[in-house]
Amino acid sequence: MTAQLATRPARAAAPAAVRRRRWSPEKLLHFGVFAAPGLLVYGCFVLLPILVSVGYSLTNYNPFNPDTEFVGLRNYKLLFTDEEFLTSLRVTTVLTVILVVAPNVAGLLIALLLDKKGPFYNAWRAVFFIPVVLSSVVVSVVWTRLLADDGAINQVLGWAGIGSVGWLSEPGIALYSLAWIMAWQMLGFCVVVYLAGLQSVPQELYEAASIDGAGALARFRNVTWPLVAPALTINTVVMLITAFKAYDHIQVITNGGPGTGTTATVAFVVLQTGFTANRQGYASAMALVMLVIIATASALALKLLRRREVEL
C-alpha cells in the first residue's frame, strides 16, 4: 500500500441558503455576545493604536515640540532616501533569513533525533526548550559575556592557538553573532513544534512505506516531510515575525553597533527615532512600513507554505 497524501482540498462553496442562515438574528446575537469582548480588546489595543499611528505618521509630531504640523506623505517619501532606515531594512532582512532558515533546519534535525520515548529523550527536550522560556535580556547578558573580547569563547580559541575573534566588535561579524544568539534561543521552540508535528504522523504510514520498500530517506521525503508541513508553516511565520520585531537582544548586546547601524533592525531604529530623537511622527511612518512588510511577508509565507500542507 502506498501512502496516499492529498494536498489540502479547496473549501467547497457553501450553498447560498446556508450562507443566509449563518447571519440570522439569532446567529448574529450569539456572534455578538461571544465575539464582542475579543473584538473590543482587539479594537482598543490593536486597531486603535494602528489608526493613531497612521495619524501621527502624517505629522511631524514631537512630544517636546508644541507645534505639530500636518506633513502629508512627506515622512514616507523621506523613508526611502533615509540611509539609516534602508540600512536597517538590510540588517533586518539578513537577520530574518538566518532566523527563518537556521532554527528550522536545526530544529527539524533535532526533533527527528528526539522523536522517541523515554526519560532520556524527555530530558533532552527540556534542555532544548529552556532557552525559549528564559528572558531575552538574561540570554543576551550571558552571551555578551561569552562572546566578549576576553570572554570564554575567545579564551578557548586562544588556547587552541586560533586567536581571539571580535564577535561583537567587528562590523562584519557582529550581526551574525547576534543572529546566532537569537537562533540559539528560538531553536527550542522549533524543536517542540516539529516534535508535535512528528508525533501526529500515524505510524501506519511509516509501516506501509517500509513494506513498500522505502528506506529512511524515502520515508522522510514521502511521509515525514509532507506531514510536518504545518509545523514548518508555524515555525517559519513565527521566526519571520520574531526577526522583524528584534529589539531587546540588540539593545542589550550591541545597542545597534558597533558603529553606525551595523546591527540596528527596523524595530530598533523605530524606537531610537521615536524615543531618543523624539521624532515620533517619522518613527510612526517607519513602524507602519514595518507593519506592512511583516504582514505581507507573513501572508506570502502562509500562502506558499500552506499549499504544500497535506490532509490525511
Partner 1 sequence: MSHTRRSALAVALGALLAVGGCTVGDDTTDSGSGGGAEITFLTFETPNLTPQYWDAAIKRITDKHTDIRVKKLVAPSADRTGYAKQLLASGQFPDVMLAVSPAEIGAATNLYAWQPGELGEFLEPTGGAIDGKVYQLPTNTQTIPNVYYRKSMFTEAGITAPPTTYAELLDASAKLKAKGHTPFVVGGGKEAFPSVLPLTATVATEVYRQRKDWMDKRRAGDVTFTDPAFVKALSLVRDLSTQGYIDRKMISLDYAATEQAFLKGRGAMYPMGSWFAAAGDKSDIKADIGVFAWPTADGAPLLPAYTGGGLEVSAKSKNLEAAKKFALAFQLDKDNLDNSVRSDALFPAIKGYSPPAGLGPVFTATYELWQKHVAGKSIVKAFSWETGSDSLLPGMTAKVYAATQDVILGKATPEKAAERLDTEWSKAA
Q: How far is Cα 242 from Cα 253, in angstroms, rounded to an integer?
A: 17
Task: Out of 106, 251, 308, 310, point to the residue binding partner 1 (CB under 8 A).
Answer: 251
Residue 178 in contact with partner 1, rule: CB under 8 A:
no
Is position 278 an interface residue for partner 1 (rule: CB under 8 A)? yes
Q: Is 261 in the site for partner 1 (CB under 8 A)?
A: yes
In the list 104, 254, 263, 284, the residue contacting partner 1 (rule: CB under 8 A) is 254
Cβ at position 280, least distance to partner 1 in Å:
9
Binding mask 49-88 for partner 1 (x = CB under 8 A): --------------xxxx---------------xxx----
* C-alpha span between 312 and 195 (Å, rounded): 18
> Among 94, 106, 115, 166, which residue sits at the site for partner 1 (rule: CB under 8 A)?
166
The angle at the Cα of 253, spanning 190 to 292, to the nearest 5 degrees, equals 60
- When binding is defined by CB under 8 A, the residue of 5, 112, 148, 196 that contacts partner 1 is 148
- 3-class DSSP state for residue 151? coil
CA distance 297 to 244: 10
H helices of the chain, where? 16-22, 25-42, 48-57, 74-79, 83-114, 119-133, 136-147, 152-159, 171-199, 203-211, 216-219, 225-227, 229-245, 248-253, 266-275, 280-307
Per CB under 8 A, which region of 5-13, 31-39, 193-201, 250-258 contacts partner 1? 250-258
- Residue 257 makes contact with partner 1 by CB under 8 A: yes
With beta carbons less than 8 A apart as the criterion, state whether 6 and 307 touch: no
Whole-number minimum distance, CB 249 to partner 1, in Å? 11
- Hey, what's the cell of 105? 533546519
What residues make contact with partner 1 under the rule CB under 8 A? Answer: 63-66, 82-84, 144, 147-150, 164, 166-171, 174, 251-262, 272-273, 275-279
